[in-house]
């Protein structure tokens, strides 16, 4: 009896090792990762400037805000929804926080208000897309316009600059600038630190918690999730709130970095970059699929590509073509070579 059990468990173990290896090889992330490595190798050969610490940290910083938002988008996409309003929420929340800092509010209070604005907009998106029974494509398309308009109204179209001349408190300013422009260990930009922190928390929340499980279940089949006793609407609303929060966080960090923003330009067109990054990383518009790791790789691909094209002196108009082609290829290669779907 015992002998038999051990034989079985040995067999199982061997099976799981091969199964695991197979799983890793077949995982969507692997394909994206290989593509990324190939791209880096190519750029390393083709340019002198690419593989330098300075440049790599630059790329890290340049993708951070996109990455923070793409992580939020991963949640929304897994729950089989979409959020087009992220660029506008990014602008609105950032500009509100900025204006409050200029108005000499307490720094942290101003930031919290900015984050609350983002979460509020996200909640509105979520509530309308669930209890309001509207498709999220429509609600967030509307919110995209409403939030952009609100930002223009409150700033009156003028750029918001956060500095002493504008009236901000120098002490608060120092801290605020540190959040956006500072470095830890002399070299690592704070934006990248925020991105890494959000990535870690986002991964744990999605893959280890009950909430994360519910998000996958809801995206897989909202009927089946509902029958399993999962509160579908609440889960979906939470994904929008997270998205709103992260959009606002990125918007505030953006203002702390530059340190000025303008309601007509800040975050315009960002939503498509954010969705593209998540999709390249394996999230599916059909819901139920996607991981934070995949999204990070997707963000890296887009960031490295942008950086590399400039380093290689590719004309700006050709850059647009290259980025579009890579998005289609990245998703296409996965679909065309997908072995998993057939078995």
Partner 1 sequence: MKRLSGLPILIVILMAALFLAACAPAAQPATPTPPAVEEATAQPVETPQVEKTPQAEKTEEPATTEGFTLAPAIAERMAAGKTPIIYVSYHDVSNEFAPFLKAGVEKAVADLGVSAEFVGPVGADAEAQIAELESLVESGVDGLAISSASTDALAPAINRFLAEGIPVVTYNTDNPDSNRLAFAGQDLVTSGYAAAQVLADLLGGEGDIIITTLDAAAQWSIDRETGARNAFDEYPGINVLETINTGTEPQEIYANIENAMLANPTVTGILSLECCSTPAAGEYVKRNDLQDKVTVVGFDELPTTLELIRDGYIAGSVSQAPERQGYEAVRMLVDFLNGKPISDVDTGIEVIDLSNYQKYLGE
Partner 2 sequence: MNDQISPIVELRDISKRFPGVLALDNVSMNVLPGEIHAVVGENGAGKSTLMNILAGELQPDSGDIVFQGNRCAIPNPYVSQQMGISVVYQELALCPNLSIAENVSLSSASTSNALSFVKRRRFAVKAREVLSQLGITDIDPNRPISKLTVAEQQLVEIAKAISGQVKLLILDEPNSALTREETDNLFAILRQLRDSGVGMIYVSHRLEEALSLCDRITVLRDGKWIDTVAAANVTVDDLIAMMVGRAVDDLYQRATDATTHTQTIFELHDLRSGNALKGMSFALKAGEILGVAGLPGAGKDELVECCFGLRSYTGKIDIQGNAVSIHSPSEAIQLGLAFIPADRRASGALLVMDVKGNIVAANLPSVSKYGLMKQPAIRATSQKYVKELDIRIASLSQKMGTLSGGNQQKVILARGLATNPSVLILHEPTRGIDVGAKAEIYRILQDLAAEGVGVLIVSSELPELIGQCDRILVMHDGRITGQFTRDEAAEEPILACAMGQTTHF
Binding site for partner 1 (CB under 8 A): 47, 49, 54-55, 58, 62, 65, 148-149, 152, 156-159, 161, 163, 165-166, 181, 254, 257-258, 260-270, 306-307, 310-313, 316-317
- Report which of 240, 259, 241, 243 is spatially closest to residue 107, judged by C-alpha positions: 259
Q: Which is nearer to partner 1, 55 or 234 (CB)?
A: 55
How many residues interact with partner 2 (rule CB under 8 A)?
A: 32
Q: Smallest gap, in angstroms, from Cβ of residue 29 to partner 1?
A: 25
Choice from 52, 104, 106, 209 touching partner 2 (CB under 8 A): 209
Q: Residues 4-43 vs partner 2: string with x where CB under 8 A? A: -----------xx--x---x--------------------
Choice from 132, 220, 285, 334 touching partner 2 (CB under 8 A): 220
The answer to whether 171 contacts partner 2 (rule: CB under 8 A) is: no
Distance between CA atoms of residues 271 and 273, nearest Å: 6
213 binds, among partner 1, partner 2, none (CB under 5 to 8 A by kind): partner 2
Q: Which is nearer to partner 2, 218 or 301 (CB)?
A: 218
CB 203 within 8 A of CB 292: yes
Distance between CA atoms of residues 271 and 62, nearest Å: 16
Cβ atoms within 10 Å of 268's Cβ, excluding its own: 15
Which residues are CB-contacts of 41 (< 8 A; sequence separation ≥ 6)? none
CB 294 within 8 A of CB 282: yes
The answer to whether 319 contacts partner 2 (rule: CB under 8 A) is: no
Q: Tell me the backbone φ, ψ of residue 188, rounded to 5 degrees.
A: -85, 120
Helix (H) or strand (E) segment spanning residue 75: helix 53-78
Distance between CA atoms of residues 65 and 248, nearest Å: 10
Choice from 104, 137, 167, 231 touching partner 2 (CB under 8 A): 231
Place of tokens 């002493």: 164
Find the part of the chain contacting partner 2 (CB under 8 A) among 63-71, 216-224, 239-247, 264-272: 216-224
DSSP 340: G
User: CB burial class (10 A; 0-12, 13-18, 19+) of residue 27?
Assistant: middle
Q: Tell me the backbone φ, ψ of residue 84, rounded to 5 degrees.
A: -95, -5
Q: Smallest gap, in angstroms, from Cβ of residue 70 to partner 1?
A: 14
The answer to whether 134 contacts partner 2 (rule: CB under 8 A) is: no
- Report which of 117, 96, 67, 120 is spatially closest to residue 270, judged by C-alpha positions: 67
Sign of CA dihedral 152, 155, 158, 163: negative
The answer to whether 133 contacts partner 2 (rule: CB under 8 A) is: no
Find the part of the chain contacting partner 2 (CB under 8 A) among 142-150, 205-213, 241-249, 314-322: 205-213
217 binds, among partner 2, partner 1, none (CB under 5 to 8 A by kind): partner 2
Q: Specify the 3-state DSSP secondary structure of 90.
A: helix
The answer to whether 213 contacts partner 2 (rule: CB under 8 A) is: yes
Q: Smallest gap, in angstroms, from Cβ of residue 161 to partner 1?
A: 5
Q: Specify the 3-state DSSP secondary structure of 168.
A: coil
Q: Smallest gap, in angstroms, from Cβ of residue 226 to partner 2?
A: 6
Q: Which is nearer to partner 1, 98 or 290 (CB)?
A: 98
Choice from 61, 214, 236, 306 touching partner 2 (CB under 8 A): 214
Find the part of the chain contacting partner 2 (CB under 8 A) among 29-37, 193-201, 208-216, 253-261: 208-216
- Please report, for residues 134, 219, 223, the alpha-carbon distance to residue 105 in angstroms, rounded to integers and kept in the order given: 38, 41, 47
265 binds, among partner 2, partner 1, none (CB under 5 to 8 A by kind): partner 1
Rule CB under 8 A: which residues touch partner 2?
15-16, 19, 23, 208-214, 216-217, 219-221, 223-231, 287-289, 339-340, 342-343
């Amino acid at each position: 009896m015992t002998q038999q059990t051990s034989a079985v468990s040995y067999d199982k173990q061997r099976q799981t090792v091969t199964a695991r290896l197979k799983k890793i090889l077949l995982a969507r992330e692997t394909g994206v990762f290989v593509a990324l490595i190939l791209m880096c190798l190519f750029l390393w050969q083709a340019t002198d400037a690419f593989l330098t610490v300075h440049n790599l940290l630059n790329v890290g910083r340049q993708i951070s805000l996109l990455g923070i938002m793409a992580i939020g988008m991963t949640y929304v996409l897994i729950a089989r929804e979409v959020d087009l309003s992220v660029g506008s929420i990014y602008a609105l929340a950032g500009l509100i926080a900025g204006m409050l800092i200029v108005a000499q509010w307490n720094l942290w209070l101003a930031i919290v208000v900015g984050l609350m604005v983002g979460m509020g907009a996200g909640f509105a998106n979520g509530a309308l897309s669930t209890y309001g029974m509207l498709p999220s494509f429509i609600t967030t398309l509307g919110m995209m316009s409403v939030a952009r308009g609100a930002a223009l109204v409150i700033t009156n179209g003028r750029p918001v600059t956060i500095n002493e001349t504008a009236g901000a408190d120098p002490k608060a300013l120092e801290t605020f600038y540190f959040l956006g422009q500072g470095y830890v260990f002399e070299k690592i930009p704070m934006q990248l630190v925020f991105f890494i922190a959000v990535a870690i928390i986002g991964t744990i929340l999605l893959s280890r918690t009950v909430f994360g499980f519910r998000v996958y279940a809801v995206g897989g089949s909202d009927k089946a999730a509902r029958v399993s006793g999962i509160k579908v609407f609440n889960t979906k609303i939470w994904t929008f709130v997270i998205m709103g929060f992260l959009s606002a966080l990125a918007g505030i960090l953006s203002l702390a970095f530059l340190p000025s923003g303008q309601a007509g330009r800040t975050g315009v067109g960002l939503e498509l970059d954010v969705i593209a990054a998540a999709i390249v990383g394996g999230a599916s518009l059909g819901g139920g699929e996607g991981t934070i790791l995949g999204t990070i790789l997707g963000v890296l691909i887009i960031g490295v590509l942008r950086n590399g094209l400039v380093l290689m002196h590719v004309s700006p108009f050709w850059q647009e073509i290259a980025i579009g082609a890579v998005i289609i290829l990245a998703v296409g290669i996965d679909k065309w070579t997908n072995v998993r779907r057939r078995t």
